[in-house]
Amino acid sequence: MRNIYLRKMTNKKEKCGRDKKMQGRLSVWLVKHGLVHRSLGFDYQGIETLQIKPEDWHSIAVILYVYSYNYLRSQCAYDVAPGGLLASVYHLTRIEYGVDQPEEVCIKVFAPRSNPRIPSVFWVWKSLDFQERESYDMLGISYENHPRLKRILMPESWIGWPLPKDYIAPNFYEIQDAH
């Protein structure tokens, strides 16, 4: 009986250890300072991935910049599932003098398809100008307070947003076999 109890306790300790491993350094720091987020684990390269709510994104972006995540490697957006959420993804790097392997983090901000609004963090990382505009143009995510949010790739006359998985091109007719 005692052996079964010890085995259960060992399993609990192992599980807690695994959960700690799933939470990266930045996630631990955010929890310590009471900042709401969700850890999504690590990608195939070992880069920590975090989910931030749209309403919290602007303030957390400023905090990350102050915490030395001063380089935005890229921003992109994608459609999670047909009829589902849209995601805006930010890859940030912590550039510091004398560091060979800079720390990186991936931030994902999800928005509902019915009203895809995410605060623009253009004012934190100026390089986001064209990247947020492209995400707007392709998926229709509205980046609030972006200074020049307008179409960048598609003509102004284009109807809708071409990259959502459930998009149907206007006036599109499949070519049928004519016999």
CB 84 within 8 A of CB 105: no
pTM of the model: 0.82
pLDDT score at 175: 60
Count the Cβ atoms, other than its own, within 10 Å of residue 119: 19
DSSP of 65-100 = HHTT--EEEEEEEEE-STTSEEEEEEEEEE--TT-S
Kindly state the greatest CA–CA separation across the chain: 80
pLDDT score at 106: 97
pLDDT score at 10: 40
Per-residue pLDDT of the chain (179 residues; tens, 9 = 90+): 444 433 443 443 333 344 445 789 999 999 999 999 999 999 999 999 999 999 999 999 999 999 889 999 999 999 999 889 999 999 999 988 888 889 999 999 999 999 999 999 999 999 999 999 999 999 999 999 999 999 999 999 988 899 988 887 777 666 655 55
pLDDT score at 11: 43
Count the Cβ atoms, other than its own, within 10 Å of residue 97: 4
